[in-house]
Structure 1
Amino acid sequence: MNGPTRARIGAKTLRTDTWWLYPAVTFVVFSAFVVYATWRAFAGAYYYATPYLSPFYSPCLGDCVEGASDFGQPFAGFPLSAALIILIFPLGFRLTCYYYRKAYYRAFWLSPPACAVAEPHGRYTGETRFPLILQNIHRWFWYAAVLVACVLSYDTVLAFRNEDGEWGHMGLGTVLMLANVVLIWLYTLSCHSCRHITGGRLRHFSKHPVRYRLWTAVSKLNTKHGVYAWYSLFSVAIVDLYVYLLATGAFDDPRFF
């Protein structure tokens, strides 16, 4: 009963594999995405190329270029980029995501950098103090993320129109937006909060067959939540970059029909 609670090992770790590779790659990729997203969010330009709207600016509720606002401009007097009005919701959803917490805790805070590797921090307070206690509002960001995913789905439908507003258009941008919205939905619906919302706090699944089926489906998606998190992160950046290149006139959108 009076023995030590942890093994007295002086070495930082006894692991001999490349345990540092995962946090290192995560650090580089996340940092690159943050730099790119920050630049694009504050740019306030080149986010719309008919009929494509960048997901960073959707829905466009500020002073937006012609054709980019499908839900009006209630924040027309906002002095900064229109992207800053909406990005807080998908960004908050990702920052408080259980998978992303593990990823950036290890990569940026080294808490810990890997399993069976000592961390440099002298004490651990968990997510009980500011600012980490704000992680507990993840579920509310999930509700907002669902609304954003619905808007992105609407944008994808509009991407099947041409410059004159006629239906029947399909270009490379349409394909990219379609792939992006599918990945966004997979990431959103595979969320741990979604799994709890569909089947949490139920004592008898037999009395709630519909919720049980939803919980089962979400549970299957949840096993690949980390994969969807990465893919959707890349797809959002790729679509935004593609729209930027079209808007700047770098090339024309290849048309399929």
Structure 2
Amino acid sequence: MATTADPGTSGRTRARLAARTLRTDRWWLPPLVTTLGLATFVIYAGVRSFMRTGYWDSEHHYLTPFYSPCLSDSCVPGSAHFGTPIGELPGFIPLAFLSLPFLLGFRLTCYYYRKAYYRSIWLSPPACAVTEPHSRYTGETRLPLIVQNAHRYFFYAAFVITVINTYDAIVAFDGEQGFGIGLGNVILLVNVALLWCYTLSCHSCRHVVGGRLKHFSRNPVRYWIWTQVSKLNTRHMQFAWITLGTLVLTDLYVWLVSTDVIADLRFVN
């Protein structure tokens, strides 16, 4: 039996609703909270990345992730774990200018963050059963959103940077007084562990370890890795938000300790 297509839901046009929504609940609250959360992190991280103070504690060798790796002659002594192949940098360039753009690209193109800011900032759509203010929808087929397809390449860069952050956390156990453990070490380790959870739970990582396999039985090692990454993948949204918090907490702690606002709580040495 032939059916008649609904002009409001078929074809190239968007669904046309007379009212913006018939919902009576506070549907606007999740987008608002998401916007405030993302804005808070962006403002804090942006300001801290340009401050050039309070990012290295010389006594305990704590380095904040916002300044890692520090490769310029502008870096304070001791903070450049990989040398200073780059000369002095003007103040308008962050000291971690080699890593921050890739980390920003990794987060911006992340599948979860796309959903978050598409709904909360771009309002496309803001919530279920709520009309959006855009008359056209082209998806990620044109500039600038076509850049989202580069997410897999940002993943590789983020993986390398997470390795560097891990190195920073390990060398922090060797301070001026030799081996020691303080609250800062615990915070750095927890932060890098959660960064690994976020990075490895990425959809691109799941594809790297298990994609294109036609027979899992013939690749038992890759299949096992794929199953473990898949378990992490179910918590990707949670890791995305948790790591924003741990990054701020880690940076704030290093900032306060390195500027002698607070003293590091020491457990060993």
TM score, norm. by length of structure 2: 0.91
2:99 matches 1:86: yes
Paired position in structure 1 for 2:142 = 129
> Mapping of 1:135-146 within 5 angstroms?
135-146=148-159
Task: From 110, 123, 141, give the equivalent of 1:97.
Answer: 110
TM-align CA RMSD? 1.4
Moved more, 6-15 or 145-154: 6-15
Task: From 22, 25, 32, give the equivalent of 1:14.
Answer: 22
Residue identity in the other structure for 1:16: T
| Contact 2:181 2:267 (C-alpha < 8 Å) held by counterparts | yes
Q: 1:116, CA displacement in angstroms? A: 2.2
Q: Hey, what's the Cα distance between the residues in 2 that align with 1:192 and 1:85?
A: 24
Paired position in structure 1 for 2:50 = 42
Residue-pair matches, total: 255
Please tell me whether Structure 1 or Structure 2 has the larger radius of gyration of its CA atoms: 2
Paired position in structure 1 for 2:256 = 245
2:73 matches 1:73: no
> Mapping of 1:1-257 within 5 angstroms?
1-5=3-7, 6=9, 9-50=17-58, 51-62=61-72, 63-79=74-90, 80-164=93-177, 166-167=178-179, 169-257=180-268
Q: Hey, what's the Cα distance between the residues in 1 that align with 2:131 and 2:199?
A: 33
Q: Secondary structure at the match of 2:265?
A: coil
| Contact 2:169 2:185 (C-alpha < 8 Å) held by counterparts | yes
Q: Secondary structure at the match of 2:26?
A: coil
Q: Hey, what's the Cα distance between the residues in 1 that align with 2:65 and 2:204?
A: 23
Give the unaligned 5+ runs of structure 2: 10-14
Q: Hey, what's the Cα distance between the residues in 2 that align with 1:64 and 1:208?
A: 46
Deviation string, structure 1 residues 178-230 (Cα, Å, up to 9, x no partner) = 11001100000000000111111111111111111111111111000000000
Q: Secondary structure at the match of 1:75?
A: coil
Runs of 4+ in structure 1 deviating by more than 6 angstroms, as ranges, are none
Give the unaligned 5+ runs of structure 1: none
Q: Secondary structure at the match of 1:92?
A: helix
Q: 1:8, CA displacement in angstroms? A: 5.4
Moved more, 126-135 or 83-92: 83-92
| Contact 2:17 2:131 (C-alpha < 8 Å) held by counterparts | no
Residue identity in the other structure for 1:246: V
Residue identity in the other structure for 1:55: P
| Contact 1:89 1:144 (C-alpha < 8 Å) held by counterparts | yes
Paired position in structure 1 for 2:12 = none
Q: Hey, what's the Cα distance between the residues in 2 that align with 1:74 and 1:35?
A: 29
| Contact 2:169 2:188 (C-alpha < 8 Å) held by counterparts | yes
Q: Secondary structure at the match of 1:234?
A: helix
TM score, norm. by length of structure 1: 0.95
| Contact 2:110 2:151 (C-alpha < 8 Å) held by counterparts | yes
